[in-house]
Amino acid sequence: MAETELTTTATQSYLFNTGQGFQSQDYLGCHVEADGRVSFRVWAPQAQAVGVVGTFNQWKPTALTPVGTTGIWAGELTQVKVGELYKFEITSADGAKQLKVDPFAQQFERKPGDAAVVLAPITKQWHDSLWLARRKKSNPANRPINIYEVHLGSWRRHSNGDYDTYAELAAELIPYAHQMGYTHLELMPVMEHLLDASWGYQQFGYFAPTSRFGSREDFLSFIDQCHQANLGVIVDWVPGHFIRNYDALYHYDGTPTYEYADPDQADNHRWGAWNFDLGKTQVQSFLISSALYWLGTCHLDGLRVDAVSNMLYLDYDEGREGQVNQYGDNRNLAGIAFLQALNTAVFERHPDVLMIAEESSSFPQVTGPVAQGGLGFNYKWNMGWMHDTLDFFEMDPLYRHDHYKLLTFAFVYMFDEQFILPFSHDEVVHGKKSLMHKMPGDRYNQFANLRTMLTYMAAFPGKQLNFMGSEWGQFLEWRDWDQLEWVDLKDPLNRQMQHFTAALNQVYTANRPLWELDHEPRGIVYSNTDDAASSTLGFIRQAKRKYSFVIAAFNFVPVERRRYRIGVPYSGEYELLLNTEAKAFGGTWTKLETTFIAVNRPHKGQPASFEVTLPAMGALLIRPRQVKRESKK
C-alpha cells in the first residue's frame, strides 16, 4: 500500500472512531477505484473475522484484514463489476457467522432482498445552480414555506399496483406541486427499508435512496428536476432508531455495535426497533455523515428529523418510566449532545438548509442556538397548535364558543420557537379519518370547515405543511398500500376544493405579510381574539413595510355575520384577497364584496374600521389598496 494511502487510511479511521468522520461514506463501504480495483471496508470492532461475499465470488467469502486496532476491516478485489451484489460475512467472537448489509451502501437490490449494489462513483451533472444560488442568499425565516408532504409509494400508482418510478414521479408530481402553488415537497423517508407498512421509518440504508422507485441516479435526477421547477425538497430522516432485522445493523459484529449495550436502552418497544447509542463516537460519525450526504451529495434542501423526543428523554418509550440521568432528571444527555453536534456540523457546511425537529414535548430551545444551550434546529413542528386546531374544528359548531381557548392558547407560545404548522400524515391514518372526514356537518359544511381551517393555517404565524390528498378533501383516510383517491376529482366539490387550495397557496406566496415576519411579535396584531360568544376571530399580519399587511377574519359557526366591524390601522380603501365561500370554491357567494372603505371610527384598539359581511363558516383575507398614510412629521 502506498504511503499516501496509509496516511489517508489512518486519518479516516481516526476521524471515524473519534466521532469526527463526517464523510465516512467516502472511506467505508464499497468503492470502485480509478484503476478498476474495488475496495471494501467495514467497521466491526469485536469480529473474529470478516469476509465479503457476492455475485462475483459465488457468495463464498473473500477474507478482509483488520486495519490495525481501528476496528475496521478492509480488502481489495479485482474481478468485481459495477452492478454486482454483495454483503459482509461477520464471524463473531464465539465463531457464529452472519451475513450483514453494508451500512454505508448507496444502493440496495429491490425488496425483499437487501444485498448492496456495487456502484461507480457519482458523475451526475447538476442543473440546479440557480436554485442553490437563490437559496444561499435567502433567509428561510423571511421566505414563504408551504410544504406538500408526500409518500412516494402511494401518491400515485400504476393500475396493476406497481410503484411509479422516480422518473414518472418527476413527470407527474413535480408539475402538480408547482401548479398547486407549493414551495417545497417533504418526502416521507426514502432511505432504504424493507417493510412498506413502516412508511420508511424503520431504515437500514442510511445512505441509499430506496430502489423501489429506481436507482440512486434516478433519485438525484428527481431532486435536480424539483429544483429546476423551483421546488425545494425536504426528506424525513430517522437518526434515533433502526430496523429490527438481524441481518442489518443489530449486533453487527456479534455484540452491540450501533445500538446501546444495555438491552433495555437498545430495545425501542413503541416502534419495534433498536435505538442507536448516540453517545458512541462511531455512531455519531455514521449518522452525521448520513445527514451531510443527503444535504450535500444529494442536494436536499432540508431534513425533518423524526422522533426527536425519543432522543431527548430517557423515559420517553413505553416501560421506561422512572429512568434518570446522573443529575436525577429524565434528560438523555447523550441524545442532546448528539443533536447539538449534528446541527452544528450541518450548519457549518450548509447554513442555508432546513433542519426541522418533529418534537412533541415542551423541551426548551429546540430552535435555539447551540452556543446558548439550544438544540440548534431552525424549525420545529408545532404539534400543540395542530392538535388544538383539529380538536376545535372537529367539534360541533354549537359548542365551539365554550372551547375558544383551543385557538387562542397558541398565541401564548407562538414565538417560543420557530414553528412549522403541520397537518401531517400522522393525523389522517389509523382510524383518525381524513381532514375532510374530521369536519362536522353535511358534505357542504365539511368542505366549508376545511376551507376555513386551511385559511386559518395560512394566516397564522409560522410556516405550513399539508399532507397529500387533503388539498382536495379526500374522504378516505390515507392508505399506504394504494394510491390517493384521484377518482374524487370527478366530484365538483372536490375539484372546487382543489381549486381553492391552489388559490389560497397563491395568495399566501404573493403576500409578504403572511410569511415575512412569521417568527417576530411585530408580525401580528391581535384585532379580535376575545369574541368567544360569536365564535369569530380576527388578526392582522404585518410585513416589514409599514403599510403592507393582511387582515384575516374568521367565522367558525354556520351563521352569517352582517355588518361585522373590523378594526384597522388606517382609513382608506381595502380590497378582498380571498373569500372562502366564493362559488368557485364550492361556497354559496355568487357576488363578492371586493372593496371596503375604512373610516375614522375606532374599533378594538384600532383607530379606523370598516364593515363586512362575514360568511357563515367562512373566512376573509383583505389587504389595503389605498390608505391614508401618516404624515412624516
As a whole-number percent, the residues of the chain with pLDDT over 90 amount to: 95
Q: What was the pLDDT predicted at 281?
A: 98
Q: What was the pLDDT predicted at 3?
A: 46
Point out the least confidently predicted range of 309-323, 357-371, 388-402.
309-323
Residues 464, 382: contact at Cβ < 8 Å? no
Cα–Cα distance, 152 to 408 (Å, whole number):
36
Cα–Cα distance, 549 to 539 (Å, whole number):
10
Q: Pick the catalytic residue from 149, 301, 358, 471.
A: 358
Residues 475, 488: contact at Cβ < 8 Å? yes
**Exposure of 310 by Cβ count < 10 A (0-12 exposed, 13-18 middle, 19+ buried)?**
buried
DSSP-based helix, strand, coil % in the chain, nearest 5: 30, 25, 45
Q: Pick the catalytic residue from 186, 267, 306, 388.
A: 306
pLDDT (mean) for 154-170: 97
Query: Helices in 113-267 by DSSP H: which ranges?
Result: 129-137, 152-155, 166-180, 216-228, 263-266
Q: What was the pLDDT predicted at 321?
A: 84
**Exposure of 133 by Cβ count < 10 A (0-12 exposed, 13-18 middle, 19+ buried)?**
exposed
Please check the confidence at residue 319 and state whether its pLDDT lies above 90: no
**Pairing, β 146-150 against β 463-467:** parallel
Strand order from edge to edge, sheet including 267-268: 241-242, 273-275, 267-268
Which residues lie below 8 Å from residue 521, measured CB to CB, with a gap of 6+?
A: 415
For residue 112, whether the previous peptide bond is cis, meaning omega lies within 30 degrees of 0, is yes
Average pLDDT, the chain: 96
Which residues lie below 8 Å from residue 171, measured CB to CB, with a gap of 6+?
A: none
Q: What was the pLDDT predicted at 5?
A: 52
Cα of 370 vs its chain's centroid, Å: 21
Please check the confidence at residue 47 and state whether its pLDDT lies above 50: yes
Which CATH number among 1.20.1600.10, 3.40.50.300, 3.50.50.60, 2.60.40.10 corresponds to the domain 3-117?
A: 2.60.40.10
Grid cell digits, residue 100: 450483514
Tens digit of each residue's pLDDT (9 = 90 or more) over 198-246 = 999 999 999 999 999 999 999 999 999 999 999 999 999 999 999 999 9
Q: What was the pLDDT predicted at 6?
A: 46
Please check the confidence at residue 609 and state whether its pLDDT lies above 60: yes
Tens digit of each residue's pLDDT (9 = 90 or more) over 49-72 = 999 999 999 999 999 999 999 999
Measured CA to CA in angstroms, residue 143 lies from 343, 385, 545 at distances of 21, 21, 15
Q: What was the pLDDT predicted at 631?
A: 59
This prediction's pTM: 0.96
**Domains 3-117 and 521-627 belong to one CATH topology:** yes
Grid cell digits, residue 168: 414518472
**What one-character-per-residue DSSP string does 490-515 give?**
GSHHHHHHHHHHHHHHHHHHH-GGGT
Q: What was the pLDDT predicted at 9?
A: 77
Please check the confidence at residue 632 and state whether its pLDDT lies above 80: no
Active site includes 102? no
513 φ, ψ to 5°? -60, -25
Cα of 187 vs its chain's centroid, Å: 7
Residues 351, 300: contact at Cβ < 8 Å? no
Grid cell digits, residue 238: 430517522
Grid cell digits, residue 102: 453494508
Cα–Cα distance, 292 to 276 (Å, whole number):
18
Cα–Cα distance, 606 to 55 (Å, whole number):
76
Cα–Cα distance, 303 to 625 (Å, whole number):
39
How is the chain split into domains, by residue range?
3-117, 141-238+283-308+331-381, 521-627
Cα–Cα distance, 99 to 47 (Å, whole number):
13
Measured CA to CA in angstroms, residue 352 lies from 119, 299, 308, 601 at distances of 30, 12, 21, 46
Q: What was the pLDDT predicted at 390?
A: 98
pLDDT (mean) for 465-494: 97
Q: What was the pLDDT predicted at 629?
A: 82
Q: At what angle do helices 216-228 and 129-137 cross, to 10 degrees?
A: 60
As a whole-number percent, the residues of the chain with pLDDT over 70 amount to: 98
Tens digit of each residue's pLDDT (9 = 90 or more) over 476-486 = 999 999 999 99
**Pairing, β 524-528 against β 49-54:** unpaired
Residue with the three cell numbers 457464529? 96
pLDDT (mean) for 307-322: 91
Cα of 502 vs its chain's centroid, Å: 21
Residue with the three cell numbers 384600532? 606
Query: What is the helix (H) or strand (E) element at residue 31, kind and residue range?
Result: strand 29-32
Tens digit of each residue's pLDDT (9 = 90 or more) over 437-464 = 999 999 999 999 999 999 999 999 999 9
Tens digit of each residue's pLDDT (9 = 90 or more) over 506-533 = 999 999 999 999 999 999 999 999 999 9
Please check the confidence at residue 597 and state whether its pLDDT lies above 90: yes
**What one-character-per-residue DSSP string does 574-592 give?**
EEEEEETTBGGGTSSBSS-
Active site includes 128? no
Q: What amino acid is encoded at 297 in this protein?
A: T
Residue 547: Cβ within 10 Å count: 15
Q: How many Cα atoms sit within 13 Å of 48 on the Cβ side?
A: 9
521-627 has which CATH code? Answer: 2.60.40.1180
Cα–Cα distance, 316 to 323 (Å, whole number):
9
Point out the least confidently predicted range of 10-14, 42-46, 87-91, 402-406.
10-14
Grid cell digits, residue 169: 414521479
Class of domain 141-238+283-308+331-381: alpha beta
